[in-house]
Structure 1
Amino acid sequence: MAGKPLNKTNLTALGAETLAELLLEAVKGDAARQRRVRMALAADQGPEAVASDVRKRFAQVRRGRSFISRKSQKKLGQELSNLVQLIETRIAPDAPDKAFELFWSQLQLAEGIYERTDDSWGTIGDTMRGAMEAIGRLADRLDANPESLADDIFDALTEDGYGAFDNVIHALAPALGPTGLATLKARAETARDAPLTTADLAQYDYISNKTERETRARQWRNRTLEIILQDVADQQGDVDTWLAQYTPEQLTLHTIAPAAATRLLEAGRAEEALMLIETAIADYTSDWLDPRELDDVHFACLDALGRKHALLQALWQRFTKRLCPDALRHHLKLLPDFDDIEAEDAARQVVLAYEPIEDALSYCLTTRDMPLAAQLIGTRHAEIDGDSYEILTPLAEALAPQHPLQAVLLWRAMIDFALTRQRKGRYGHASRHLQSCAAADNTITDYGPHLSHIDYMARLRADHARKASFWERVR
């Protein structure tokens, strides 16, 4: 039906009365949309009116007991996100403490919601993180008693079973100040050092050895307390307290060393940071997992110490081992004029010889270096694994305008793999790749040692004549 487009200008022209009638009709039977409209109406009555409506909605959610379906979960997540925006825009500017109270109440809803739904998609988690981020944005305007706030944070963290309050110390550090952080630290240390209770030990009754049972029970009870102490130490700039949470061996693990070395760097202790990170790198044995964080902190340490030659070597080593484009760019930037040209040529040779070839092709795709990709395919096309479609498909499309023959070789690799391995699920993709080969044939004047498109089609028909489901798609 022809008519005016549905946009803000045309809707405004309808007038307030018509729009009101249309809105009432649109929200009829939809409780979530009706609540949103009521919130918008309350917004003009001041922060207290908005806060009252928000509290009523939180109370409704808190009283809920039925399971929340996936569809309802998405609606609830969107509604809670809208409330975060409403609180931040309508209440926080004039009443930051009231806004904080509401955000805190929303975070306290997390446990009840999680127990009533499967949040494997992270919908509710994203909403709660949004509320915590909003708290962080207003923290420096709060008029809260630091010691009382520290008590509230401690209670929230020790009772939180779903991680809704994970970043609360960082978010509220400006409001806590030195007094609040000290109070929080003292409470965590007192709780950590307290004797184990009967309840603490009960869950480990199956362990006969008393010492081991107590050790396990203490570790379990103190997990959250240690995290609190780490977060407080971060905010106080107390590097040594943060480091003390780990053994010397743990500090050199690839999962912990980057954070530890970064903190030492920020404290002006670059030599210690370098020693720690180099030990971690030496102890790292995995070939398949990229130690990106270790390497990045290593570079930062060398840079802070002014060790340019060592930094150049480390960057080049990472590039040659991992084909990391960021490391190469950093390396080239540090070189004197004209030396970078020679280094770029050397880098190209590294890529051309790199194994497996799929990683080298991925590098070319990431850097959008199609001439290098074409050269690589031209010299090593026989090594290409046609199963690597996630790399070959976009690379072939990128190559096609200027390097059609190399694009064809990639499409053929995927076609041959699908047909030879009888991957029927890929026959549709293979037929489209074959059509791309036919289109590229018009621009290729010389196939060199490779089969022409006509000869390649003849070979496919000879080798795979019985694969009817493929040929039906080609036709």
Structure 2
Amino acid sequence: MSKKTLNKANLERLGAEKLADLVMDLVQGSAALQRRARMELSAAQGPQEVAADIRKRFVSLRRSTGFVDWRGQKALVRDLKGLLSMIDTSILPHDAAEAFDLLWSFLQLAPSIHARTDDSNGAVGSAMAEAMDLIAKVSPRLAQDPKALAERVLDAVAEAGFGEFDGIIPAMAEVLGMEGLDHLKRITDAWADEPATAQELARYRGYGAGSPEAIVRRNRQTTRSIILADIADAQGDVDAYMARYTAEQLIFGTIAPDVARRLLDAGRTEEAFEIVTRARAAEKGKAVRMFRYDLDEVYEECLGKLGRTDTLKDHLWETFLQGLNAASLRKYLKLLPDFDDIEAEDKALDLAEAHPHLGAAISFLVGWPARDRAAAVVLARAAEVDGNAYDTLTAAADALEAGHPLAATVLRRAMIQDTLDGAKSKRYAHAARHLAECQSCDPAIKDHGDLPSHQQFVDALRQKHGRKYGFWQLFNG
């Protein structure tokens, strides 16, 4: 490796003085880099110094009110994750209690940060999730009163408006122990039944449908349900987890998988099977059925544990047929005796080739992988290729290019024609790239069959779309 390569080993050879000069140059004009450099200097003085600097930064973040645009948000998230890194590396190994308090304060920044950012991409939320992971890492090392911790947890969850304390009970289950969890259960029940405070009523006055009292009561009941479910999980109490739902809710497609999974883990397979069977029947009876892989996965596990292999095989085969589900087919083949699985696989691939939805057939055959079959389907059904399905076709063309350049070209031509026929100018760059890929593939194609050669295809494009100058400028470079 060259001695000029920018890596840690080569930089270390510059020596401390030269590196210090470089750092001073780099931090000029960057408040974020200056803060990071100061914190590194504080860290060298000990955990208390860096903790003090982190708390000052928290105060600054809490006081800030200006809206952060998407450019500023990237820098903000880097700043937040840098603070977490400092807590993890410079404080947590030396002072678990201090690290815990800092992480708690970090999560409490969420309301002020969310109020001035658009976190539609989840970047700020991911930083909060990292903080929760660190709390899970540090909490077993705490030596604090479990009841006091339980009260702190309830206060935080009750006030959290952005989900920043989601997962706090699993993260602290070990340090809370049975004593803390039981206390949390009691004080949660008591809190949920208390009258609304004046502050809560003021918050929801004129908020929408229903009285402020009703809104507060509904919110508290929802929060209690979530807390008690987390406590039940932490205590391994399946019945307590199920008790938060009515008999009707237990068979909702969104609830049944989680309940059945917990019953399976507790060895209560028959009960799990009954719930998922009823949930599947309820889903099937709906006018619009959402296909729920999580529900089917638990159902399949129940059938396996109950020894109902024939029923399981029938289910897996039917699931494969419904949507060319590769995972279901693989599970099905594993249940068959040797050699029977080969015959069944061939049958499944034949059915995939004949599937009425060409995009689904191509995607399945490429991913299986059965690329010879995928290429054959593309060539045999070239007129059916939907050039607007660019996600599927781009991935398939890339996969087929090396072994089946003509099939890859057919897919790319379909996308090019769809883009130009529809004058989809935002996709011109992709279409130009696809045409260049067709050009590079052409020498490997020995026989175009009934399809036009590359030059014939380009000539036809120029004749039909010659006035789409934006596209041709991109293609011609």
* Bigger mean CA deviation after superposition, 196-205 or 154-163: 196-205
Query: What TM-score does the superposition give when structure 1 sets the normalisation length?
Result: 0.89
Deviations 1:213-266 (A, max 9, x none): 976653233221221111111111121222122222222222111111111111
TM-score (norm 2): 0.89
1:326 aligns with 2:312: no
Shift of 1:150: 0.2
SS of structure 2 residue aligned to 1:144: coil
Q: Distance in 1 between matches of 2:228 and 2:110?
A: 24
Output aligned runs, 1:262-341, within 5 Å: 262-284=261-283, 285=286, 289-341=290-342
8 A Cα contact 1:39 1:53, kept in partner: yes
Report the residue type matching 1:91 in the other structure.
Answer: I
**Distance apart, 1:352 and its partner CA:** 1.2
TM-fit CA distance, 1:308: 2.2
> 2:235 corresponds to which letter in structure 1?
Q
Find out whether 1:31 has 2:31 as its counterpart: yes
Contact 1:204 1:216 in 2 (8 A): no
| Matching of residues 338-417 of structure 1 within 5 Å | 338-417=339-418
Question: How far is the alpha carbon of 1:467 from its aligned partner?
Answer: 6.0
Q: Find the counterpart in structure 2 of residue 75 from structure 1.
A: 75
* Shift of residue 329, structure 1, vs aligned partner: 1.6
Instruction: Check 1:395–1:161 CA distance in 2 against 1; reply closer, same or farther (3 A cut).
Output: same
Contact 1:200 1:221 in 2 (8 A): no
Task: Name the residue aligned to 2:233.
Answer: 234
Q: Is contact 2:39–2:50 with CA below 8 Å preserved after alignment?
A: yes
CA–CA distance in structure 1, aligned partners of residues 6 and 449 of structure 2:
57
Residues 443, 71 of structure 1: alpha-carbon distance in 2 compared, 3 angstrom cutoff: closer
State the shift of 1:25 in Å.
Answer: 2.8
Q: CA deviation at 1:348?
A: 0.3
Q: Aligned-pair distance for 1:449?
A: 4.2
Gaps of 5+ in 1: none
Determine if contact 1:173/1:181 at 8 Å carries over to the other structure.
Answer: yes
* d(CA) in 1 for partners of 2:331, 2:140: 37
User: What letter corresponds to residue 227 of structure 1 in structure 2?
Assistant: I
Q: What does residue 146 of structure 1 align with?
A: 146
| CA deviation string 1:43-83 (max 9, x = no partner) | 23332222222222222323333333433332232122122
Do 1:415 and 1:433's aligned partners in 2 also have CA atoms closer than 8 Å? yes
Question: Whole-Å Cα distance in 1 between the matches of residues 95 and 451 of structure 2?
Answer: 74
2-side partners of 1:458 and 1:64: how far apart?
60
In structure 2, the CA distance between the partners of 1:5 and 1:399, relative to structure 1 (3 Å rule), is closer
Work out the CA distance in 1 between the residues paired with 2:75 and 2:212: 45
The residue type paired with residue 9 of structure 1 is: A
Where in structure 2 are the equivalents of 1:392-471 lying within 5 Å?
392-453=393-454, 456=457
**Relative to 1, partners in 2 of residues 1:354 and 1:123: Cα closer, same or farther, differing over 3 Å?**
same
Which residue in 2 is equivalent to 1:56? 56
| Seq. identity, % | 44
Distance in 2 (CA, whole Å) between partners of 1:288 and 1:420 is 35
Q: Which amino acid aligns with 2:258?
A: A
CA contact (8 A) 1:204 1:217 kept: no
Question: Could you tell me which residue of structure 2 aligns to residue 94 of structure 1?
Answer: 94
Confirm or deny that 1:157 pairs with 2:157. yes
Matched letter for residue 141 of structure 2: R
1:254 partner letter: G
| Number of aligned residue pairs | 472
Q: 1:147-296 alignment to 2 at 5 Å?
A: 147-195=147-195, 203=204, 218-284=217-283, 285=286, 289-296=290-297
Give the C-alpha shift of residue 130 in structure 1: 0.8
* 1:248 match: secondary structure: coil
Residues 204 and 302 (structure 1 numbering): CA distance in 2 closer, same or farther, change over 3 Å? farther
How far the C-alpha of 1:365 sits from its partner, in A, is 3.0
The amino acid across from 2:339 in the alignment is F
Which whole-Å CA distance do the structure 1 matches of 2:14 and 2:212 have between them?
73
Displacement of 1:435: 4.6
- The gaps in structure 2 that reach 5 residues or longer are none
Deviations 1:84-116 (A, max 9, x none): 122122222232112111111111122222223
